[in-house]
Amino acid sequence: MKIIVCMKQVPAAATASIDPLTKTIVRTGRNAVTNPFDLYALQTALDIKEGVGGTLTAITMGIPAAQKVLRDAISRGADDGAILSDRAFAGADTLATSYAISLGIEKLGGADLVVCGKMAVDGDTAQIGPELAQHLGISHVSDVTEILEMAEDHLVVRRVWDDIDQELYLPLPALITVAKGVNLPKLPTIPGMLRGRVAEIPTFTAEDLGADIARCGLKGSPTQVVRTFTPPVRGEAQEIEGNETQQAAKLAQIIREVLHGED
């Protein structure tokens, strides 16, 4: 099985400290780490690779220094990694990011399974996984809490939201995003660390990927951040039943209700 896991470099919030004089965050340059949720994705991918066999590639998009997360992934057991790095990708929202990553995955020859963390701790959007699946034209299941069965051509996964407990049969190729409790990520070994350090990490630019520049970076990002705030405590999850059309209609109704208070 060919598995690709998506990784992101994020600031290490725990190490952030405030300068007593300027009252700003002290940025030492040492405080960038692998997105903690991605470690669960990586471990899921490693477990599936161990169970079914195959290859595991880690992919990321970011500044050249972000390849550190790929070396981290290799030190933890990934076979190799690839970084998408280009000024054209800068300022990308989730749509532009997932577009670029989808091209990166295609450049790598595609995948039977793509694994993402539930979300990144800096943006908290949880959108990359589903959007990436859409770009790739494959099925996806988000927030997987357990891998119940693994085989060359399918997975059976479980996800639990509030009082909703689902077991889903997922034919491959597909994408999953995994929740925090799905496993306990293992630590790197010394040989893993040494492998990660010397691994050749290919860099793909927008041109290498044949990307439509209008869909990359800031240009390709319809999202505008108006303000940031702590959202109120969310209500319980709802399960939407029916066929795709019925589900979409119900979802649209819920969004209208939230946005406009319509009934």
Positions that interact with other proteins (CB under 8 A): 12, 14-15, 17-21, 26, 28, 30, 33-34, 36, 39, 72, 75, 184, 186-194, 197
Minimum distance from CB of 188 to other proteins (Å)? 5
Cβ neighbors of 92 (< 8 A, separation 6 or more) are: 61, 100, 216, 217, 218, 220, 221
Minimum distance from CB of 94 to other proteins (Å)? 24
Q: What is residue 70's three-state secondary structure?
A: helix
Minimum distance from CB of 87 to other proteins (Å)? 26
**36 token code pair:** 């903690």
Q: What is residue 97's three-state secondary structure?
A: helix
Minimum distance from CB of 17 to other proteins (Å)? 5
Task: Pick the closer one to other proteins by CB: 201 or 209.
Answer: 201
Minimum distance from CB of 75 to other proteins (Å)? 7
**232 token code pair:** 């109120």
Task: Pick the closer one to other proteins by CB: 189 or 253.
Answer: 189
Task: Pick the closer one to other proteins by CB: 14 or 258.
Answer: 14
Q: Is the peptide bond before 173 cis (omega within 30 degrees of 0)?
A: yes
| CA distance linking residue 100 with residue 81, whole number of Å | 16
Report whether 73 contacts 35 (CB < 8 A).
no
Phi, psi of 206 (to 5 degrees): -60, -40
